[in-house]
Amino acid sequence: MNHSTKRANVLLITLIITLGGLLFGYDTGVINGTQFYFSKYFDLSGALKGFIVSSALLGAFAGAVGAGVLSQAIGRKNSLIISAILFTVSAWGSGLPSMLPESTSLLVFFRILGGIAIGVASMNAPMYIAEIAPADKRGKLVTYYQLAIVIGFFVVFLATYFIGNGLSEADNIAFGWRRMFWSELIPAGAFLVLLFMVPKSPRWLMTKGKKAEALRVLTSIHGAAAAEKEIGEIEASIAKESSSEKISVFSKSVFSIVVIGTILSALQQFTGINAVLYYGADIFEQALGFGPDDVLKQQVLLATVNLLFTFVAMFTVDKLGRKPLLMIGGFGMLIGFLIMGFTLYGSDYAQLNAAGMPALTKTEGMYSLIGVLIFIGSFAMSMGPVVWVILSEIFPNKIRSVAMSIAVAAQWLANYFVSQTFPMIVDSDTNKLQIDGGTWNHSLPYFLFSGFIVVIIVFVWRFIPETKGKTLEEMETLFEK
């Protein structure tokens, strides 16, 4: 097997596994377009809408917590197959409630299944890629997973746009949102089928004492010479892990690192990113005053900016460094939300949009849209990918899996909290238009997020060291200063 063929095999396997990341983005993004219509179909309150949208995050938390044990017991590949099955069942079942009366509980059930699939995939897919990739390509190949998540958001916004744009608003409310959920069956089914083409993780096979099978897998993707060398490295690594001294995340030497990483992980969600990604349709209609025909178009624009600026991060994180990107992105996010917040707060909403709702002027609407896009672009080049890079670097080898589980679990809980409370704040009396007796003129959530972004900027400046170019051993001393 020549070098180019081996490289193609590794790339093909990686692309199949990254479908788990694409489904991560697709499943979390599909709720954006659908909730805009199923909320009207079921006549949901802000609190109930928030619970349905965020219910998948509870499933993701449970899936992430259990993914480590599942992966160790049945392997990365089989865990991902289970994830693919859950994605498929969730996509099919989420479209059923419109066919049944009083079925919001059924929708929640299937959304939780999808969340479990996300949790399992988010832990196993990047781990699998890292374990089959050659050492000199591992970092680049693992970043494909993050890119796939963003592509998933982009693809689902295109899908919901074309589905919704072909129907009237009444038809979208009646059944269009069901088709949007069912569109996920295509990538979910492809993921499930293609997973049977990939081998089991050689690292997992070695932990189960299946050296001969692990050697066959490595030989098929790296060649005989490289396979023999890697088998020796895996054996040495397993032996070292088995004989090394056990430490806890509560040990004095590492506890501060775990706390810093966990806080950074949770703060990623308090930027408000998923409020925008989950409730973007509501924001464009209620806060910015766009009509129903324009809402899905704006979502495609949002997804495009998200995708493009993720590439900016991928090509600059090893050149500019982690901390500079976080600081630049933090100020960009702050500027974006302040533009939007002050524009909304200062508007008199004196005109109506095509749907008869109070709307911003065309100029005000453009300022607010620019503010949202500045925020999205700034997040995509900083807190989005860079937080994951830092989390993969700062935790010592002996506690990395446990510390990552804690940090990821904290992020899912923060995601749930923001997703649950955002529609409640939007619907609160104080956030109503001033002409309706409110105070904040639809701007309150964006000023609250701006406050958290200031906290993030200060936290990064004070507690996050630059990790670019540092070895893992050198990083363990960075937090002692």
Tens-digit pLDDT profile for residues 246-260: 666 777 767 888 899
467 vs 82: which has the higher pLDDT: 82
Longest dimension (CA), the chain: 75
Domain span at residue 175? 1-198
Q: Is 164 among the domain residues?
A: yes
Q: Is 57 among the domain residues?
A: yes
- In 3D space, the residue among 187, 182, 173, 184 whose CA is nearest the CA of residue 35 turns out to be 173
Averaged confidence pLDDT in the chain: 82
The Cα 387–Cα 410 span in angstroms is 13
- pLDDT above 90 (res 411): no
- Residue where one domain finishes, among candidates 174, 198, 222: 198
pLDDT of residue 473: 45
- pLDDT above 70 (res 206): yes
Query: Would you say the pTM of this structure is higher than 0.75?
Result: yes
pLDDT of residue 385: 81
Residue 481 has which token pair? Answer: 């200063």
Helix or strand holding residue 173 (H, E): none
The answer to whether residues 12 and 138 belong to one domain is: yes
pLDDT of residue 296: 62
Q: What is the pLDDT of residues 292-328, one digit of tens each?
A: 556 667 777 888 898 899 888 878 877 788 899 999 9
pLDDT of residue 138: 62
Q: Write down how long the chain is.
A: 481
450 vs 31: which has the higher pLDDT: 450
* 292 neighbors 285 (Cβ within 8 angstroms): yes
pLDDT band at 397 (very low <50, low <70, confident <90, very high): low
The answer to whether residues 52 and 187 belong to one domain is: yes
Per-residue CA distances from 256 to 253, 463, 472 (Å): 7, 10, 16
The Cα 192–Cα 90 span in angstroms is 13
The upper half-sphere exposure of residue 177, i.e. CA atoms within 13 Å in the direction of its Cβ, equals 24
Find the mean pLDDT for residues 140-152. Answer: 80
pLDDT band at 92 (very low <50, low <70, confident <90, very high): very high
The answer to whether residues 194 and 253 belong to one domain is: no
The answer to whether residues 319 and 175 belong to one domain is: no
- Residue where one domain finishes, among candidates 172, 198, 224: 198
The Cα 135–Cα 145 span in angstroms is 17
Q: Residue 212: is it exposed, middle or buried by C-beta count within 10 angstroms (0-12/13-18/19+)?
A: exposed
pLDDT band at 355 (very low <50, low <70, confident <90, very high): low
Q: Residue 281: is it exposed, middle or buried by C-beta count within 10 angstroms (0-12/13-18/19+)?
A: buried
- In 3D space, the residue among 373, 375, 381, 363 whose CA is nearest the CA of residue 337 turns out to be 375
Q: Is 43 among the domain residues?
A: yes
pLDDT of residue 257: 87
Q: Is 81 among the domain residues?
A: yes
- Paired with 359 in beta bridges are 351
2 vs 325: which has the higher pLDDT: 325
The answer to whether residues 133 and 49 belong to one domain is: yes
Q: Residue 69: is it exposed, middle or buried by C-beta count within 10 angstroms (0-12/13-18/19+)?
A: exposed
The tally of domains found in the chain comes to 2
Per-residue CA distances from 353 to 39, 279, 285, 350, 454 (Å): 20, 19, 9, 10, 34
The answer to whether residues 260 and 186 belong to one domain is: no
Residue 32 belongs to domain with CATH number: 1.20.1250.20
Q: Is 292 among the domain residues?
A: yes
* 128 neighbors 77 (Cβ within 8 angstroms): yes
27 vs 137: which has the higher pLDDT: 27
The answer to whether residues 173 and 309 belong to one domain is: no
378 vs 389: which has the higher pLDDT: 378
Q: Is 222 among the domain residues?
A: no
pLDDT of residue 377: 95
State percent of the chain over pLDDT 90.
29
Per-residue CA distances from 181 to 39, 246, 251, 416 (Å): 14, 46, 46, 20
The answer to whether residues 180 and 259 belong to one domain is: no
The answer to whether residues 279 and 169 belong to one domain is: no
Q: Is 221 among the domain residues?
A: no
pLDDT of residue 240: 61
Residue 246 has which token pair? Answer: 């056990």
The answer to whether residues 180 and 71 belong to one domain is: yes
Q: Is 165 among the domain residues?
A: yes
Q: What is the pLDDT of residues 265-302, one digit of tens each?
A: 999 999 999 888 777 766 776 556 565 556 667 777 88
- Residue where one domain finishes, among candidates 155, 177, 198: 198
The answer to whether residues 351 and 466 belong to one domain is: yes
Which ranges in 101-166 belong to alpha helices (H)?
A: 104-132, 138-165
Find the mean pLDDT for residues 465-481. Answer: 59
Residue 129 has which token pair? Answer: 């890629």
Q: What is the pLDDT of residues 324-340, one digit of tens each?
A: 999 999 999 999 999 99
The Cα 431–Cα 283 span in angstroms is 13
The answer to whether residues 270 and 151 belong to one domain is: no
Q: What is the pLDDT of residues 219-228, one digit of tens each?
A: 887 778 777 8
- pLDDT above 70 (res 478): no
Which ranges in 75-103 belong to alpha helices (H)?
A: 76-94
